[in-house]
Homo-oligomer: A and B are copies of this chain.
């Protein structure tokens, strides 16, 4: 069975879907791997490293895709998919990020073209699938980079410093939402020496906050049913959010850097910092909004931009993983490799829909939208 890795076409994308170490593993498992020439270049992986690992190098996209059973890419939706789709042959399988909960139409688009689609965002949050979870990988990178970005823009140095010019107080950093990204942001800000506090509506987060050396902030307001079956934070009522915002204003006014990470898959991000709260913050404070791409946790965030309101700098970074191409490709490629090793058989992929991982991630199969959540979103259920 041939696996094809194309060179990314998405703007400013620097990653590659498999690294040479992944190729070795797949070849050992009996698969063939073809890499489009130059696909790994921006991530630090020359063609020769892929050849050494046992891959074929194909000069262009067409040769790479020819006779492939599975095609791997980072971005399998939007303009990147529009470009790729005409080059794919019916019966081929596309494995990629597809943002399917925000844009379920991707499943119809693939089904219509008779492409089998596997959307990596839909990997279930179960122990067996942890090694395939690209969202966790991306969140790890985003949390780390968010702390660096906060430190870079802060008007303070993060660590306490005892210098000949007096003692500098450590910066105060506050993390809102402690999923994978939030915890990594806590850990990184702590490494840099800041005083780190964190908040999450899920009571279970308390232990996790403590485990990375940060202090959990208590608002003394009650919330119920804060966690979904999958371990994500659940959307809250307007009333709860209002009480939360009031109690939060005092906390925010103390901070030098605030990192927000509250995202709900497929939905607009909740506003955690209103303009009123912003006005009470210290002049010179910095907000890093990791939910910028889905509307922002701060009311004044602009995705991909740096804006200043009421003396507070608000950063809305996009596609953080692409800024760390080497390690990000390693993580993405390893996630993909683990999924391929689950599904790959001698003659093709195993479409065993009894397996929760295969059932949940498959969005289209043999010309049909097959994923239950997407069928519901599309009104096909």
Contact = CB atoms under 8 A, between A and B. Distances in A.
Contact of A152 (B149, B156, B192): B149
Contacts of A157: 141, 144, 324, 327
B136 A164 contact: yes
Given A191-B191, A282-B44, A326 B155 contact: yes
A223 interface: no
Interface in A122-166: 130-131, 133, 136-137, 140-141, 144-145, 148-149, 151-152, 154-157, 159, 161, 163-166
B164 A133 contact: yes
A32 B136 CA distance: 58
Contacts of A371: none
A326 B165 contact: no
B284 A44 contact: yes
Interface in A65-80: none
Interface residues of A, number: 47
Contacts of A192: 188, 191-192
A148 B155 contact: no
Tell me if A's interface is mostly helix, strand, loop or mixed: helix
A79 B198 CA distance: 46
B44 A330 contact: no
| Copies of this subunit | 2
A295 interface: no
Contacts of A193: 191
A334 interface: yes
Contacts of A44: 155, 282-284
A327 B152 contact: no
A20 interface: no
Nearest to A283: B44
A325 interface: yes
A148 B165 CA distance: 22
A242 interface: no
Interface of A: 14, 41-44, 46, 130-131, 133, 136-137, 140-141, 144-145, 148-149, 151-152, 154-157, 159, 161, 163-166, 168, 188, 191-193, 282-284, 323-327, 330-332, 334-335
Given A144-B157, A155-B327, A188-B192, 5 more contacts: A152-B152, A156-B326, A166-B331, A168-B330, A191-B191
7 contacts: A43-B284, A136-B165, A144-B159, A155-B324, A156-B327, A191-B191, A191-B192
